[in-house]
Amino acid sequence: QDAAAVVRKARAAGVKVTDLDGNRTTPGEPALVLGYGNLADNGVEAAARLLRRAMTTV
């Protein structure tokens, strides 16, 4: 799957994610970096739903 496209869709939906490619030293499978340290407990499920929607519509 195109990680960059998923990042664009997720960000458009309000979910801040990053493509792992910018942090790699060697090529690898598409991957995302998720941070949830500043996310309220009640926001985790909503963010996961939005991310899932972004991933399934790319």
Residue range 28-57, pLDDT digits in tens: 999 999 888 888 888 889 999 999 999 998
pTM: 0.78
The model's confidence at residue 12, banded by pLDDT at 50, 70 and 90, is very high
Residue 1 has pLDDT above 70, yes or no: no
In this prediction, residue 29 carries a pLDDT of 92
| Cα–chain center distance at 16 | 7
The model's confidence at residue 13, banded by pLDDT at 50, 70 and 90, is very high
CA 32 – CA 17 distance, rounded (Å)? 7
